[in-house]
Amino acid sequence: MTTQTINETLDARNLNCPLPILRTKKALNAMNSGELLQIQATDPGSVNDLSAFCAQTGNELISSEEGANEFIFIIRKTGS
Amino acid sequence: MNAIAEQIQDLSQMDNWFDQRFEEKMAERKANHTPSMTIISTKGTLDMAYPPFILASTAAALGWDVEIFFTFYGLSLLKKELDLEISPLGNPAMPMKMPMGPEWLRKTNINIPNVVMAGVPGFEKVATGLMKKTMANKGIATIDELRSMCIEAEVKLVACQMTVDLFETSRDDYIPEISDWIGAASFLPKAQQADVSLFI
């Protein structure tokens, strides 16, 4: 877990592919470069998808964790 | 002799220089390249409406340039009023499961003879209703929702002019976000330039 402040949070629970990615993209669009976005999701596919999304868009996946019945991701907006 | 040896050395230096520059240029080109995708959407059933809109909206989220060419039955995915149905008949892989009721019933695959699927009036309406309920239960986006997201993400929606004439519909039946009404000759050069091109 990072000790830095989370700037925005996104609740993508109970959403299935490709909605968590689309909502993430939308949330990042509204943020400034360098800010952190925390995402909660329940779709197991989002683990691979968010990592692929970050690799392709140049955003930084800071952490990807499995919590109780959900996944928690933190992304730093670095890309466009 | 010395002159020849020098020339040979020059050549090999030039080779090295070229290899290095080539690598750099290729890396620069790759870094500046925006990936692109074109999709040909030809089917108008609910199940076949998902792949083009899912792939297009996701590719747009990845920063790709995307264009979908809607032709034949695919054009119905651009109607103002979406009324898409699934077609269970002749679709042997399609499971028929109940979206409601006890767990054992939800997991049971109900085999329905073709004669029932074909002969019972309204069977497709019922099957479509059950499929939509199942999708909502699983948090899957509706086609309306995915289409709006594509529009918002500036996916280019182009429609086939010939299809409108063929089915005798009017351009007014379709959403105004259609950027162009084109034919095969206008679409193919775009597909040729695209990194990914799919026929759905």
> A24–B61: do the CB atoms touch at under 8 Å?
yes
Residues A39/A1, Cβ–Cβ less than 8 Å: no
Q: Tell whether A42 is covered by a domain.
A: yes
Q: Sort strands B65-70 and B156-160 into parallel, antiparallel or unpaired.
A: parallel
pLDDT for the residue B95: 65
Tokens of B98: 């109940």
Whether the pLDDT of residue B172 is over 90: the answer is no
Residues A67/A39, Cβ–Cβ less than 8 Å: no
Cis peptide preceding B88, ω within 30 of 0? no
pLDDT for the residue B93: 67
- Summarised one tens digit per residue, pLDDT across range A45-77 is 899 999 999 999 989 999 999 988 899 999 999
Model confidence at B23, in pLDDT bands (50, 70, 90)? very high
* Chain A CB within 8 Å of residue B62 CB: yes
Tokens of B155: 């996916």
Whether the pLDDT of residue A2 is over 60: the answer is no
Query: CATH homologous superfamily for B34-199?
Result: DsrEFH-like (3.40.1260.10)
Number of domains in chain A: 1
Nearest-Cα distance to chain B for A52, in Å, is 9
Q: Tell whether A3 is covered by a domain.
A: no
Residues, chain A: 80
Model confidence at B122, in pLDDT bands (50, 70, 90)? confident
Task: Domain of residue A58: give its range.
Answer: 8-76
Residue B140 with chain A: CB contacts under 8 Å:
16, 19
Q: Tell whether A31 is covered by a domain.
A: yes
Number of inter-chain CB pairs under 8 A, A vs B: 37
Distance in angstroms (rounded) separating the CA atoms of residues A29 and A24: 9
> A25–B61: do the CB atoms touch at under 8 Å?
yes
pLDDT for the residue B1: 61
Residues B74/B167, Cβ–Cβ less than 8 Å: no
CATH number for the domain spanning A63: value is 3.30.110.40
Entry pTM:
0.80
Residue ranges of the domains in chain B? 1-33, 34-199
Tokens of A71: 């996944």
β-pair partners for B39: B68, B198
Distance in angstroms (rounded) separating the CA atoms of residues B159 and B79: 11
List residues of A whose CB lies inside 8 A of any B CB.
Answer: 14-19, 21-22, 24-25, 42-43, 53, 56-57, 79-80
Nearest-Cα distance to chain B for A5, in Å, is 25
pLDDT for the residue B158: 94
* Chain A CB within 8 Å of residue B143 CB: no
Chain B residue with minimum CA distance to A57? B62
Chain B residue with minimum CA distance to A29? B61
Q: Tell whether A28 is covered by a domain.
A: yes
Chain A residue with minimum CA distance to B51? A18
Sign of CA dihedral B181, B186, B188, B189: negative
- Which of the pair, A60 or B141, is modelled with greater confidence? A60
**Least confident piece of the model among A59-73, B22-36, B84-98, B115-129:** B84-98
Most A CBs within 10 Å, among B58, B147, B148, to test the A interface: B58
Q: Tell whether A1 is covered by a domain.
A: no
What is the number of helices (H) and of strands (E) in chain A?
Answer: 2, 4
pLDDT for the residue B103: 80
Which of B61, B62, B139 is closest, CB to CB, to A16?
Answer: B139
Which range scores top for mean pLDDT: B4-8, B18-22, B169-173?
B18-22
Whether the pLDDT of residue A1 is over 60: the answer is no
> ipTM greater than 0.85, yes or no?
no
pLDDT for the residue B81: 85
Model confidence at A3, in pLDDT bands (50, 70, 90)? low
- Give me the mean pLDDT over the B160-187 stretch: 88
Q: Sort strands A60-66 and A71-76 into parallel, antiparallel or unpaired.
A: antiparallel
